[in-house]
Amino acid sequence: MTEDHGFEARRLIRAAAAATLATQQDGQPFASLVTPACAPGLPPLLWLSSLSEHTRHLQRDPRCALLFTGVAESANPQTAPRVTLTGLAEPVTDAGLKARWLARHPYAALYAEFADFGLWRINPQGALLVGGFARATRLRLAQLLPDAAAVAALAAAEADIIGHVNADHADAVEAIATGLLGAAPGAWRLTAVDVDGLDIAAGDSVLRLAFAAPVADADGVRMELVRSARAARAALAASQQQENS
């Protein structure tokens, strides 16, 4: 089966709690740490202070790049998967996108209403995926972005999915958190859904569950949740059995 490099890149981008933002002023490059979330269709979202140097750079020149880095397979950092995404930054005032960013970074509620902060969206132009040591793939925008119809379908269904799962299947969410994602037990809740996976949170802790493949609609999310919950419960049962033996 042909590898879906766009899906591989999106999984890494959507899972990242932090990234490196590259901007420039008068030809001098500048790099800084940022905390991204993603809009449903992938464009990274950044909550930036107008007092920050990188924000002033973007106000003058919206061209930028983001580096997202995964976990290295060995002691050699070059074995880490990573994506460099190039794009154009623009300030946005969408309350739904702000809520999505805050759901990914709930600790930021402490400064979310500071007057100097605002939401920025990075509209992708392309990306370079390095899947590990000497595994580089250049991605055109059409290869990187998910199917637009699927994005729209999930965006329309997301609120209902979150409400139903949290009301009727909270036990499955906690099982996924503890059995698949290695978290401690807690009041885990579904907070966001997209075509590539979902986010669950308990307090300030947020975990990402990546789907096995992109989904097209709410039924696809349901099937992924059922599959993941079954796998999580099986893992928990095996762990309990091992402890008792």
Say whether both 141 and 25 belong to one domain.
yes
Say whether both 65 and 140 belong to one domain.
yes
Residue written as token pair 């040591």: 133
Which pLDDT tens digit goes with each residue over 12-28? Answer: 999 999 999 999 999 99
Give the residue numbers spanning the domain of 60.
Answer: 5-145
Which pLDDT tens digit goes with each residue over 52-93? Answer: 999 999 999 999 999 999 999 899 998 999 999 999 999 999
Say whether both 17 and 127 belong to one domain.
yes
How many other CB atoms are there within 10 angstroms of residue 173's CB atom?
A: 26
In sequence order, which residues have a C-beta less than 8 Å from that of residue 59 and are 6 or more positions away? 50
Say whether both 122 and 195 belong to one domain.
no
Say whether both 227 and 129 belong to one domain.
no
Of the residues 92, 116, 145, the one at which a domain ends:
145
Say whether both 157 and 94 belong to one domain.
no
Of the residues 145, 162, 192, the one at which a domain ends:
145
Contact at 8 Å (CB) between 104 and 199? yes
Contact at 8 Å (CB) between 125 and 64? no
In this predicted structure, the answer to whether residue 4 has a pLDDT above a threshold of 60 is yes
Which pLDDT tens digit goes with each residue over 113-150? Answer: 999 999 999 999 999 999 877 789 999 999 999 999 99
Say whether both 155 and 85 belong to one domain.
no
The number of folded domains in the chain is 2
pTM (2 d.p.):
0.95
How far apart are the C-alpha atoms of 235 and 94, rounded to whole Å?
A: 40
Which pLDDT tens digit goes with each residue over 159-206? Answer: 999 999 999 999 999 999 999 999 999 999 999 999 999 999 999 999
In this predicted structure, the answer to whether residue 36 has a pLDDT above a threshold of 90 is yes
Predicted confidence at residue 2, as pLDDT, reads 67
Of the residues 104, 119, 145, the one at which a domain ends:
145
Long-range contacts of 223-230 (CB under 8 A, 24+ apart): 224/198, 225/165, 225/169, 225/172, 225/176, 225/198, 228/176, 228/180, 229/169, 229/172, 229/175, 229/176
CATH code of the domain in which 82 resides: 2.30.110.10
Going by pLDDT thresholds of 50, 70 and 90, the confidence category of residue 11 is: very high
Say whether both 51 and 68 belong to one domain.
yes
